[in-house]
Amino acid sequence: MQPVAEAGRFPAKAVVGEAFPVRATVFREGHDAVNASVVLVAPDGSERVTAMTPVNPGLNTWSAVVDASIAGWA
């Protein structure tokens, strides 16, 4: 999963309002449909879900661009 910092030793960080890309390798077992979403969780527990799109259909890489609209999203 991306973004990563120092090979995953530290969390990736962004400033409020900065858009950043998120990539993931997503796979399934069997013949079910597959989809992926980025879920940002605010300090108060509310969630914001952003749908990801396939970067190279059929090869398992998905991507989305999200932004932290308030400080403390995880």
Mean pLDDT of all residues belonging to the chain: 82
Taking residue 63's Cβ as centre, other Cβ atoms within 10 Å add up to: 16
pLDDT, tens digit (0-9, with 9 covering 90-100), for 29-43: 777 778 889 998 888
Higher pLDDT, 45 or 52: 52
pLDDT, tens digit (0-9, with 9 covering 90-100), for 59-72: 889 999 998 887 77
User: Which domain CATH number covers 56?
Assistant: 2.60.40.10
Indicate whether 1 belongs to any domain.
no
C-alpha angle 69/73/74, rounded to 5°?
A: 145
Q: What CA–CA distance (Å, rounded) separates 24 from 51?
A: 12
Indicate whether 51 belongs to any domain.
yes
Number of domains in the chain: 1
Residues 14, 71: contact at Cβ < 8 Å? no
pLDDT-derived band at 45 (thresholds 50, 70, 90) equals confident
